[in-house]
Every structure is written in structure tokens, then in C-alpha cells.
Amino acid sequence: MKITLVCDVLGEENNGTTVTTMNLVRSMESKGHSVTILCADEDKKGKEGCFVCPKRSFGPFNNYVRRVGVTLAKPVKSIIYEAIKDADIVHCMLPFALTKAAVKMSRELGIPVTAGFHCQAENFSGYIFMKNFHLLNNFVYRNYYKKVFGIADGVHYPSQFIRDLFESKTAKTKGEVISNGVADRFKPIKCAKPEEIKDKFVIVSTGRYAREKCQDVLIKAVGLSKYRDDIRLVLAGKGVCDRKYERLARKYKLIDPKFEFFSREDMLKVLGFADLYVHTAVAELEGIAVLEAVKCGKPIVVSDSDRTAPKELARDERNLFKAGKAKDLAKKIDYWIEHPDERAECADYYANYEKVEPAGDCMDRLEKFFERVIENKRKEREEAETEA
């Protein structure tokens, strides 16, 4: 197959969507398929198989967008055409301007086009301080449906949760649920804690520092814990809320919290010596970071928000806290500190958890998904020609 990937946001592999995109590229190429990338990353200019649109300007908000850590594309029809004209299928990663233009042109050219659902409404509304404004979130979903997912030849949903949520807000789509999966290197390993924290309780949370991720709730919870001085918090990530979180940690008198983005290899080591994994997001369509922690055999505590998929991973109420409630999270943290035997039993449960799919199997399923969409499109064309 000749596959064109449309990436409104690409950049470094420091966020879930980019990691997923590059995993897809590597997997499809390893299977012998040709992959072309359409994006706005200037460092891709001149590279074989890459077509680069100019960056979109947001005027006075450019500095804010840069701090968020994204580069959005300004669609240019001639560049889009060159990127997709020879493709057997066009697959879009995010429902923004470049994707909308690529979907429209693909349909005009009769090229099969699919779209991956990798962006909840809250991922947008959170950046404008309106993540809980349901009217806005519903409007965003309807726009996604009208411009992308409702007219695509196929939709890839990473979880049944996000498919059910999106279609309940809009209408049925030509969708298929395929997890992004977890790499084989994520597995239970024991790593010694660094000497300076060898006798401390280590809590880890991974994700962009963004409002819908709600890491502020975890910082407050650690500050409210009876065992605050014995806890070492590791917030693995970076983002627009970094300074806010550092100030909050000082306010709640956390001792030596670590705010840092880790490589995949270093993240394995951190998970290897962590005692507890906490995920506070109120919006999460799959939660690869939580799945990775589970595969590493870590006890987890996750938000019970009705807008998150990770809550389905909770074994019982000990693994859930009330969304946005730092005091309730502090109680759950204290419980796991006070019950080491139960914590070890919970770790064993997750170490043997079989519902997390290997990334390789998921990529095989996605390949077959592309092939079916191409075949269905071919049949549609033949039927249309016959009727004509």
C-alpha cells in the first residue's frame, strides 16, 4: 500500500499522538508499505517522503501556542495534492485544518480516506479554560463529525469508550475500535530506587502538563497526605502548565518533586522503581500512559470521570478517586501507603492483566483495517460505474 499520513501536529515524540503516529510509520514501513507524511514541521523539508505545509499563524497567541508545544499547519492545496495524489489510502491523525482540507481533496479525487480519533473536545477547550463547558465541547464534536469523521471512509477509534462517547454526541460512523497498544518493552521489571530516595514512597504520573490532565489535583493530594514528607512525586511530561505546577508544589510543601520529560527508556526505569501510578485526567480517550504502567505491574489510582477510558482499568474502588477531588485522592494514596501487602497483591494483578493489547497486534489490525477500506472503496466505484 501507498499510505499518506496527514499530521496536523507532529514534532518530537513527546506526546501520545506523535508517538502513535511514528509507531504507525515504523510498523507500516516494516511491513513493506510506503508511507508519505504531510505535516508542518520545517525540519522535515527536503526529506524523502515528506511534504511540508507552512506553519499556521495565530497572531498575538503565537507565543502561547509555542508554549503548548504544537505546530499547526496552514493548508496549501498544491502541497496537499502532491502528497496524496498517488496514495492508495490517506489516513489523518487529528481533525484540524490540514486534515479537513485533505479529507475534502481525497474525496474529490476518489482516494479512500480514514481518520484516527486522537483528540477529545477537552483537549481543545482545556487550552481556552473551558474544558467543562459542555455546550462548547458538543459543538466541537459536531464540527469534527461534519468535517472529518462523518464523511471519512473509515474511523479508527483507540477505545470503545471514545467511540461510544463521540457517536452519542453526533451520529454513527464507519468506525472500528483498535487500541494503539503497548510496546513489548513495557513489562514488570525491578529497578533500584536512586540512593537519595531509597526509603521514600514514589508516585509517578505521566502526561502533558495540560488543564484537562489535572496534575494540579495530584500535587495538592500529595500535599494533603499524612505522609507528605515521605512521598516523592514524579510528574513525567512537560507543557503549558509547568510553571504553575512548580509554584503549586512549593505552596503545598512537596519535597523534591521532579518535573521532567523522560525518554522511553528512562521512563521504563522510573516505572520500575515506582510504588504507585496515579492518573488524574478528567478527559482521556485511551490513556496509553496508564496502559504502560499496568503492563509494568504498577498499582494504579485513576480518576472516575465519565470522560475517561482509564477508569475501566480500575480493579475496585481502591483504584478510583473522585474526579478533581484532591482530598479523596489523598485518602487513596494514604491507603496504599498503609497497606503494603494489598499493594503488592494489586501489583501482581496488573502484572498479569491480559486486556492490554501488544502494539504489534494492534498495528496488524490497523493494516487490515486500511486494506478493508481500500477494498470497500474499490467495490463502491465498481458498483457506481455499473449503475451508470
Q: Same domain for 42 and 66? A: yes
Are 115 and 99 spatial neighbours (Cβ–Cβ below 8 Å)? yes
Confidence of residue 12 (pLDDT cuts 50, 70, 90): confident
Among the listed ranges 36-50, 105-119, 295-309, which one has the minimum average pLDDT value? 36-50
Residue at 188 is within a domain: no
Q: Same domain for 28 and 163? A: yes
Give the pLDDT score at 69.
Answer: 54
Give the pLDDT score at 121.
Answer: 87
Residue at 101 is within a domain: yes
Instruction: Say whether pLDDT at 211 is over 90.
Output: no
Rounded-to-integer distance, Cα 95 and Cα 99, Å: 6
User: Could you give the count of Cα atoms lying within 13 Å of 216 in the half-sphere of its Cβ?
Assistant: 16
DSSP summary character for residue 7: -
Mean pLDDT over 157-179 rounds to: 96
Instruction: Say whether pLDDT at 325 is over 70.
Output: yes
Among the listed ranges 23-37, 55-69, 127-141, which one has the minimum average pLDDT value? 55-69
Mean pLDDT over 78-89 rounds to: 97
Mean pLDDT over 222-234 rounds to: 98
Rounded-to-integer distance, Cα 246 and Cα 233, Å: 12
Mean pLDDT over 213-228 rounds to: 97
Confidence of residue 73 (pLDDT cuts 50, 70, 90): confident
Quickly list DSSP for 331-355: HHHHHHHH-HHHHHHHHHHHHT---
The CATH number assigned to the domain holding 243 equals: 3.40.50.2000
Give the pLDDT score at 268.
Answer: 93
Q: Same domain for 327 and 379? A: no
Among the listed ranges 76-80, 265-269, 314-318, which one has the minimum average pLDDT value? 265-269
Residue at 187 is within a domain: no
Q: Same domain for 221 and 177? A: no
Instruction: State the alpha helices, DSSP H only, in 77-231.
Output: 77-84, 97-109, 121-125, 134-144, 160-169, 215-224
Instruction: Say whether pLDDT at 25 is over 90.
Output: yes
Instruction: Say whether pLDDT at 39 is over 50.
Output: yes
Are 290 and 300 spatial neighbours (Cβ–Cβ below 8 Å)? yes
Q: Same domain for 151 and 266? A: no
State whether residue 286 is helix, strand or coil: coil
Residue at 172 is within a domain: yes
Q: Same domain for 175 and 246? A: no
Instruction: Say whether pLDDT at 82 is over 50.
Output: yes
Residue at 139 is within a domain: yes
The residue segments making up the domain with residue 220 are 195-351
Q: Same domain for 143 and 219? A: no
Rounded-to-integer distance, Cα 207 and Cα 15, Å: 7
Q: Same domain for 271 and 297? A: yes
The mean predicted confidence, pLDDT, of the chain is: 91
- Residue 10: count of CB within 10 angstroms of its CB: 26
> 44-52, long-range: CB within 8 Å, 24+ apart, which pairs?
44/10, 51/79, 51/80, 51/82, 51/83, 52/79
CA angle 371, 154, 47 (to 5 degrees): 70
Q: Same domain for 248 and 341? A: yes
Confidence of residue 103 (pLDDT cuts 50, 70, 90): very high
Q: What is the pTM of this model?
A: 0.90
Q: For the chain, what percent of residues have pLDDT higher than 70?
A: 94
Q: Same domain for 165 and 222? A: no
Give the pLDDT score at 274.
Answer: 97
Bridge-partner residues for 156, per DSSP? Answer: 116, 176
Rounded-to-integer distance, Cα 166 and Cα 48, Å: 36
Rounded-to-integer distance, Cα 62 and Cα 12, Å: 19
Quickly list DSSP for 35-74: EEEEE--GGGTTSTTEEEPPBPP-GGGHHHHHHHT---B-
Residue at 186 is within a domain: no
Are 248 and 271 spatial neighbours (Cβ–Cβ below 8 Å)? no
Mean pLDDT over 253-264 rounds to: 94
Q: Same domain for 21 and 165? A: yes
Total number of domains in the chain? 2
Q: Same domain for 372 and 333? A: no
Give the pLDDT score at 61.
Answer: 47
Are 309 and 302 spatial neighbours (Cβ–Cβ below 8 Å)? no
Instruction: Say whether pLDDT at 375 is over 60.
Output: yes
Instruction: Say whether pLDDT at 56 is over 70.
Output: yes
Rounded-to-integer distance, Cα 114 and Cα 256, Å: 46
Quickly list DSSP for 222-281: HHHSTTGGGEEEEEE---TTHHHHHHHHHHTT-SS-EEE---HHHHHHHHHH-SEEEE--
Report residue 337 as a C-alpha cell.
Answer: 501507603
Instruction: Say whether pLDDT at 228 is over 70.
Output: yes
Residue at 316 is within a domain: yes
Residue at 123 is within a domain: yes
258-260 β-sheet, strand order = 258-260, 231-236, 201-206, 276-279, 300-303, 320-321
